[in-house]
Amino acid sequence: MHLIFLLFLAPFCSAAVFQLPTKSTGSLRAKLIRAGKYQEFLITQHAARLNTISQPISDYSDEVYLGNFTVGTPPQPVSLVLDTGSANMWVIDASCDNMFCNGWIGSNYTRQKFDTSKSSSFSRENRKFSIQYGKGLCSGYLGTDTVGLGGGLTIRKQELGIANKLDVDFAVQPMDGIFGLAWPALAVDQITPPMQNLISQLDVPVFSVWLDRKIQASHGGSAGMITYGGIDTKNCDAGVTYVPLTAKTYWQFKMDGFAVGTYSQYGYNQVISDTGSSWISAPYAMINDIATQTHATWDEMNEIYTVKCSTMKTQPDLVFTIGGALFPVKSVEYILDIGLDEGKCALAISPLMASGFGPSWILGDVFIRQYCNIYDIGNARIGFANAHHSF
């Protein structure tokens, strides 16, 4: 309406013509490309779109974080560990009815097992599978079925394991299986990992993880978000530090140095980001230095280092140097109250036996709670941004 009015008015106006000088600032796209920031700009733009999908994460004692999925037709609900440290998806078979598959009775968690006979879309393969994790072994057979992630994201034919044998390590875990988020080269039996099957549905081949910290013991409360196709701009700062991956198996990269209290160590270490690991794992020698700086004592019975819970917020930061930037992790993140006696809390750091070829550090949920992790599949890099918390 206003446009038509102005067009008709213009021929009858005799006012002076005003000319303003203009100048070109150059192409924003070209500038960002030259600065190596165009892909980051695109990810940020895509993250603001309505069709990036965020999936809530449930928390168990700030140690196990689960995503809610469905498998089969009609869909059967399962809660799976979101694991960037492995590449296979598996669920527990409903036919498995022993204490390991049913779960430890004192775990405050009721297992949701997958009944293949009730899914019209399930197809069984003639292949068996067996996966040995850092802690825990599972085995069974392979099949394909429909997997739902919520928000309209669906994988029509995902190859997955149907586990009918679990060992004791999985018996005590509040979980119905694992959703592997690592690279295809890490996948057992050469299956295609779920993220590679999702890529065509996403704005950009990226997912990001934000984990919250409850401090008080949680038994399934909402405590995080995984965002497929972009970055969680609500719970994560806009500024992201990216570093290239050194291997496309785990989400592996270089760490330049580490410090705690008066101790510091510099020199490259191979590190992985692992949402499936509750704690930080470090070389044996480093564990001793951290224990010294935090005045931790060894608990022989539970095989962990402990400190007084009263020091949870006053211990020195763990400071990681990655990509030339400092990433301090506060003591409220790495000291956990896991129900020990005499006012003791756990130092959430465990030893890792490095072979010289694999990673020497694992940055698990302790680190990821402090920093949102952005897993950029398209550019083979990982990014870190400050995470937002209420405490």
Judge whether 157 lies within some domain: yes
**Residue 263 sits in the same domain as residue 171:** no
Distance CA(61)–CA(171), nearest Å, equals 16
Looking at the 3D structure of the chain, how many domains does it have?
2
pLDDT for 357: 60
| CATH, residue 125 | 2.40.70.10
The contacts of residue 347 (CB under 8 Å, 6+ apart) are 290, 291, 294, 296, 304, 305, 306, 307, 334, 335
pLDDT score for 25? 34
d(CA 69, CA 89): 11
Classify 379 as helix, strand or coil: coil
pLDDT at residue number 34: 60
**Does residue 226 belong to any structural domain of this protein?**
no
Annotated catalytic residue, options 62, 83, 93, 176: 83
Share of the chain above pLDDT 70, in %: 80
**Are residues 170 and 241 part of one domain?**
no
Tokens of 367: 């680190």
Residue of 93, 176, 274, 365 with catalytic role: 274
- Residues 292, 359, single domain; the answer is yes
pLDDT at position 52, please?
67
Extract the tokens encoding 163.
Answer: 């586990």
d(CA 344, CA 97): 37
Query: Is-contact 272 254, C-beta < 8 A?
Result: no
If phi over 0 gives left and psi between -120 and 50 gives alpha, with beta otherwise, what is residue 167? beta
| Tokens describing residue 167 | 């060992």
133 and 73 co-located in one domain: yes
For residue 315, the enclosing domain spans: 232-386
| Domain end among 201, 221, 247 | 201
Q: Which residues, given as ranges, of the chain have pLDDT below 50?
A: 1-28, 45-51
Look up the pTM and report it.
0.84
Is 117 within a domain? yes
Domain end position, chosen among 183, 201, 219: 201
Same-domain check for residues 180 and 287:
no
Annotation marks residue 274 as catalytic: yes
Residue given tokens 């008066």 in the structure block: 262
